């Protein structure tokens, strides 16, 4: 099986290659794809050197699967070209997520929506993935009415330029700025650009994407997304109002039995999820599980995940694994 990684030299693409090395996909040929300035260079995968090719060259090779992480404009232009030659495209940008004809997939939750006719499949936003991994089993049991989310997102969610800005600040070096302000010792209440309604694109992704993934728009969502000076890992404070009452012990049990979710909620020993301990892991971590005492049927949660792995690369590859396992390629 030929698998292309589009954006192979980028931040997420590099993690994709690492995750592919760790997992047992039946890859017979890797096709690393990047911009024309990187074409001809080599990279190492499983101890073997591969030459980076252009998008045009990759389409001609007709891979069975193409994992895209090269930005929305590239996806809009090139994903249909890959699809036209029979390639299954799994796209990590926001380009196709809310397209009514494209599936938005977290395999553990809604992999069953995929069919042989799906040639462009969208990977959700990183913050959305960790959110729905925890909320999906609770929604099934108690039925959500309203979700209020505050995110604490790492600079890696912005990209290499932002990671470098934080590193420069920590080293006392003047350098290029990814943000309007210093990020070190700061919290910037803006992730992505502002829209006419006063929310950012990131916040509106959190409002819209869970409804599509859960196939239910009966609950309401509001969000505030904040950038903080951590190098990797996103955190979320989540308040959920349910139609039905719950027992906190049962909530913990449900979440502890959910594949891909790990409960870290031992207050006596100061154990709770943190970006530093979620780093380089594929699971979603949840803790600080407690009843909201200000109103009935309402729960507070703290959710953390590595945004470059489960939030991006790993989920993309898990979609590919689902397609292969169910003979959809």
Q: List active site positions.
A: 126, 234
Burial of residue 10 (number of CB atoms within 10 Å: 0-12, 13-18, 19+)? buried
Rounded Cα distance, 118 and 120, in Å: 6
Rounded Cα distance, 208 and 203, in Å: 9
Q: What is the b/e burial string over 55-93, where b = at least 16 CB atoms within 10 angstroms of the residue's CB?
A: beebbeeebbbbbbbbbeebbeebbeebbeeebbbbbbb
Q: In what order do the strands lie in the sheet with 29-33?
A: 29-33, 2-6, 65-68, 88-91, 120-122, 103-104
Q: What is the b/e burial string over 148-183, where b = at least 16 CB atoms within 10 angstroms of the residue's CB?
A: bbebbbbbbbbeeebbbbbebbeeeeeeeebbeeeb
Rounded Cα distance, 215 and 2, in Å: 32
Cα angle 55-61-62, degrees, rounded to a multiple of 5 = 95
- Please name every residue paired with 302 in a beta bridge, in sequence order, or none if there are none: 237, 287
């Amino acid at each position: 099986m030929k698998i292309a990684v589009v954006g192979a030299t980028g931040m997420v693409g590099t993690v994709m290659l690492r995750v592919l090395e760790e997992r047992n996909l039946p890859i017979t040929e890797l096709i690393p794809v990047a911009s024309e300035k990187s074409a001809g260079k080599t990279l190492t995968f499983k101890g073997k050197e591969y030459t980076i090719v252009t998008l045009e060259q990759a389409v001609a090779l007709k891979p069975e699967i193409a994992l895209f992480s090269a930005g929305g404009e590239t996806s809009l232009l090139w994903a249909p070209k890959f699809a036209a030659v029979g390639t299954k495209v799994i796209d990590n940008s926001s380009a196709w997520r809310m397209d009514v004809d494209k599936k938005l997939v977290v395999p553990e939750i809604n992999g069953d929506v995929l069919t042989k006719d799906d040639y462009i499949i969208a990977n959700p936003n990183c913050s959305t993935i960790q959110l729905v991994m925890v909320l999906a089993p609770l929604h099934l049991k108690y039925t959500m009415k309203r979700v209020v989310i505050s995110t604490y997102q790492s600079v890696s969610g912005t990209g290499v330029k932002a990671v470098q800005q934080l590193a420069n600040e920590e080293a006392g070096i003047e350098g290029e700025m990814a943000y309007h302000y210093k990020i070190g010792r700061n919290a910037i209440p803006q992730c992505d650009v502002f829209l006419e309604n006063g929310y950012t694109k990131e916040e509106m992704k959190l409002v819209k994407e869970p409804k599509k993934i859960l196939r239910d728009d009966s609950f309401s969502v509001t969000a505030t997304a904040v950038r903080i000076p951590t190098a990797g890992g996103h955190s979320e404070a989540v308040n959920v109002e349910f139609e039905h009452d719950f027992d906190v012990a049962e909530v913990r049990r449900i979440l502890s039995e959910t594949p891909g979710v790990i409960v870290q909620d031992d207050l006596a020993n100061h154990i709770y999820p943190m970006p530093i301990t979620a780093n380089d892991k594929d699971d979603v971590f949840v803790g600080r599980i407690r009843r909201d005492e200000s109103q009935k049927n309402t729960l507070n949660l703290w959710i953390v995940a590595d945004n470059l792995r489960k939030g991006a690369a790993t989920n993309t590859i898990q979609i590919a694994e689902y397609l292969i396992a169910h003979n959809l390629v």
